[in-house]
Amino acid sequence: MENESETRGPRRIFTRRVVIVLVAWAVLTTLGSWRHQRRWIDEAASDSWVGIDAALQVMVLPAWLGARTVGNGYGVANSLAWAIGVNSIGFGALAVAYLVAHAGVRGLLIPKSRVGDSIDPSRRRLLLGAAPDAIAAVSGCGLLYATVVEPNWIRVTRTDVPIEGLSPSHDGLRMLQISDTHRGPRISASFIAEAVRLGIAQKPDLILLTGDYVHMGVEFIEEGAALLAPLVRIAPTVGVLGNHDWYAGAHRVRHTLTNYGVRMIDNDRCFLTDQCRLDADAGTLCIAGVGDLLEDHVDFDRALSGVDRSMPRLLMSHNPDAAELPELRSHRVDLMLSGHTHGGQVRLPLIGAPGVPSRYGQKYAQGLVDGPACRVHISAGVGMSVAPFRFGVRPEINLLTLRST
């Protein structure tokens, strides 16, 4: 009778747990489907739901990847039926995994009478049976941090960059780099506005925008550019396009940014005078730019040829992998400024950033590094792409101060 009661108790607990999990599955499936429709189909979601929507999507991300493979692309995101199916399967898989973990623990921990066993079986079952709950709780907290907290925890990095032959007028020049704002369903207008306000507070002398201003749709182009307009009012502002700007419509993005006062220099250049004004033909600091490595063409000759060899040169390229192109080695470049990688968005202890979108691994993840022809500064950016989370790689804007050597 004692063994039977010891067995019946855990069964009742497990049955109650199954009921709770089924209710949670139904609630999360409904919530996830509704939020998907609001953000991705109706495009009517408010900024305040961005983090929660990201958390719900990450929980069923494997199911979404499978659905998009079966559905042959991202078009399935426009179907509510697909959203309901994906959320049902995705949250169902999590529920089954949780229950299997509990069932496995229960099967292993049904107490067996053994001579000399000094551990109370019920205590063992209570302590070890809580392991799946603890794992679920820690995972949930980590998920909320990566989707709600860190993506909104922006920072300013500060770096001094020595430049040979820099004009005395530009010694101490404060350059603000803002990259990868990705205005779209995952990155709110209010967050980009916060990044811009933070940048203005640094009192820069020159502002460099290194691409990916919009994400997933032409409807975000106007607002994505307008959010950057306050920068133009405080300092000369120069920009190049990124691959996502090409996906949205490169010519329209370029035209809109130009209308707001940004000097666009894809495969082109301009000059900064000693009075910190931009000039098309003459100055004491060359600011050159090249087209995006993935979606445009990179023309170093067009951007840099004819510039006095003694003049210091900055080069803007959205994708830092352009630093590896052999054609660059025939030109003087003192500093390249890039974005694109987002720092990999996830950085783990001992491992680093395993998902950097670069052919050269973690070399160009973020920060100031040495390329074959010049130093490269890579910003981890403001927004996100592909995966809606950050972990160990906070969003950032970058203040670089030029120093004469």
**Which pLDDT band holds residue 113 (cuts at 50, 70, 90)?**
very low
Query: How many domains does one find in the chain?
Result: 2
Question: In 10 A of CB 34, how many CB atoms?
Answer: 15
Residue 254 and residue 235 share a domain = yes
Asked if pLDDT for residue 108 goes beyond 60, the answer is no
| Distant-in-sequence, close-in-space partners of 224: CB < 8 Å, separation ≥ 6 | 181, 183, 184, 192, 213, 214, 253
**Which pLDDT band holds residue 395 (cuts at 50, 70, 90)?**
very high
Residue 183 and residue 128 share a domain = no
150, 174, 189 - which closes a domain: 150
State the number of CA atoms in the 13 A half-sphere of 381 facing the CB. 30
CATH number assigned to the domain comprising residue 390: 3.60.21.10
Residue 279 and residue 330 share a domain = yes
Residue 234 and residue 114 share a domain = no
Residue 257 and residue 395 share a domain = yes
* pLDDT confidence of residue 136: 78
Residue 174 and residue 140 share a domain = no
What distance in Å separates the CA atoms of residue 237 and residue 29, rounded to the nearest whole number? Answer: 46
Give the mean model confidence (pLDDT) for residues 180-197: 95
Instruction: Give, in order, the Cα–Cα distances in Å from 328 to each of 23, 63, 227.
Output: 60, 43, 33
What distance in Å separates the CA atoms of residue 386 and residue 355, rounded to the nearest whole number? Answer: 11
Confirm if 288 and 239 have CB atoms less than 8 A apart: no
98, 123, 150 - which closes a domain: 150
* pLDDT confidence of residue 175: 99
**213: nearest Cα among 197, 229, 234:** 229
Sheet hosting strand 237-239, strand order edge to edge? 155-163, 396-404, 174-178, 206-209, 237-239, 263-264
Instruction: Give, in order, the Cα–Cα distances in Å from 167 to each of 84, 225, 310.
Output: 61, 32, 11
Residue burial 301-331, b: 16+ Cβ < 10 Å; e: rest: ebbbeebeeebbbbbbbbbbbbbbbeebeeb
What distance in Å separates the CA atoms of residue 363 and residue 360, rounded to the nearest whole number? Answer: 6
* pLDDT confidence of residue 127: 55
Asked if pLDDT for residue 128 goes beyond 70, the answer is no
pTM across the whole model: 0.85
CA angle 367, 151, 193 (to 5 degrees): 90
* pLDDT confidence of residue 294: 97
* pLDDT confidence of residue 78: 62
SS (H, E, C) the chain: CHHHHHHHHHHHHHHHHHHHHHHHHHHHHHHHHHHHHHHHHCCCCCHHHHHHHHHHHHHCHHHHHHHHHHCCCHHHHHCHHHHHHHHHHHHHHHHHHHHHHHHHHHHHHCCCCCCCCCCCHHHHHHHHHCHHHHHHHHHHHHHHHHHHHHHHCCEEEEEEEEECCCCHHHCCCEEEEECCCCECCCCCHHHHHHHHHHHHHCCCCEEEECCCCECCCHHHHHHHHHCCHHHHCCCCEEECCCHHHHHHHHHHHHHHHHHCCCEECCCEEEEECCCCCEECCCCCEEEEECCCCCCCCCCHHHHHCCCCCCCCEEEECCCHHHHHCHHHHHCCCCEEEECCCHHHCECECCCECCCCCCCCCCCCCCEEEECCCCEEEECCCCCCCCCCCCECCCCEEEEEEEEEC
Task: Show the domain range for 303.
Answer: 156-404
What distance in Å separates the CA atoms of residue 335 and residue 314, rounded to the nearest whole number? Answer: 5
**Which pLDDT band holds residue 63 (cuts at 50, 70, 90)?**
confident
Residue burial 55-77, b: 16+ Cβ < 10 Å; e: rest: bbbbbbeebbeebbeeeeeeebb
Residue 21 and residue 122 share a domain = yes
Residue 133 and residue 14 share a domain = yes
Asked if pLDDT for residue 66 goes beyond 80, the answer is no
Residue 160 and residue 144 share a domain = no
Residue 221 and residue 144 share a domain = no
150, 176, 201 - which closes a domain: 150
What distance in Å separates the CA atoms of residue 210 and residue 57, rounded to the nearest whole number? Answer: 28
Residue 144 and residue 160 share a domain = no
Residue 165 and residue 82 share a domain = no
Residue in the structure block whose two tokens are 């490269």: 376
Asked if pLDDT for residue 177 goes beyond 70, the answer is yes
Confirm if 377 and 336 have CB atoms less than 8 A apart: yes
Segment of 31-45, 142-156, 191-205, 272-286 carrying the highest mean pLDDT: 191-205
Confirm if 215 and 182 have CB atoms less than 8 A apart: yes
- Give the pLDDT confidence of 248-273 residue by residue, as tens digits: 999 999 999 999 999 999 999 999 99
**In the predicted model, what is the mean pLDDT of the chain?**
87
